Chains A and B, each alone.
Chain A
Amino acid sequence: MSGSFLASDFRNTFENCILFVVRVVLKYRHCDGNLCIKVTDDVVCLLYRTDQAQDVKKIEKFHSQLMRLMVAKESRSAAMETD
């Protein structure tokens, strides 16, 4: 996977297309050494696959942000300001 997670289209597309996060799936295969994150709002589905260790921290941070988004009552833009 070229480029980093933050700089990738995934992040940009997420902010532009996903209105309300319905489901997030994280798949990790240690034997194959890859990690995959999928975010969907049941209209648009975004998928990011990586085998780079440098992406783990960023994906995990993003994953935490999504969790906070889901649990928070405030609007989405306010929650994403912590980025």
Chain B
Amino acid sequence: MVLLESEQFLTELTRLFQKCRTSGSVFIVFNTDDGRTKPVPRKGHIEGFEPADNKCLLRATDGKKKISTVVSSKEVNKFQMAYSNLLRANMDGLKKKDKKSKNKKSKATQ
């Protein structure tokens, strides 16, 4: 699992989408990130560790290659704009509704 900076993650994500155009899926997963680096022991708790609640871990894969990044509340605005544009630009292979909307319009005018 490659942990990248936000910008690099977005570049690699674009590449993943382009690679999977002919076949395969792109999976994007996001969870909250505590910032923990050690596993929690069965008894007691990790000393000196306070769980952070302002970060989220974003992971992407095409089944083979894995990339990830951590987004905190400070960079969420900037990251989100770029990320949204990326998703909208790359998820363009879905069906478009043409005939039904034309029928609705003609019915509305009547």
A residues in contact (CB < 8 Å) with B: 21-31, 33-35, 50-57, 60-61, 63-64, 66-68, 70-73
Q: List 28 A-B contacts (CB under 8 A).
A: A22-B32, A24-B29, A25-B29, A27-B26, A28-B17, A28-B26, A30-B17, A30-B20, A30-B26, A31-B21, A50-B94, A51-B94, A52-B97, A53-B95, A53-B96, A53-B97, A56-B92, A56-B94, A57-B88, A61-B84, A64-B84, A67-B58, A67-B71, A70-B30, A71-B55, A71-B56, A71-B71, A71-B73
CB of B46 closer than 8 Å to a CB of A: no
| Interface bracket on B | 35 or more
Bound together, the chains give a CA A49 to CA B21 distance in angstroms of 19
Task: Rank and list the top 7 A-B pairs by shortest CB-CB distance, nearest first.
Answer: A53-B94, A26-B28, A30-B93, A70-B56, A53-B96, A71-B73, A29-B25
Q: Main SS of the interface on chain A?
A: mixed
Contacts of A21 in B (CB 8 A): 32
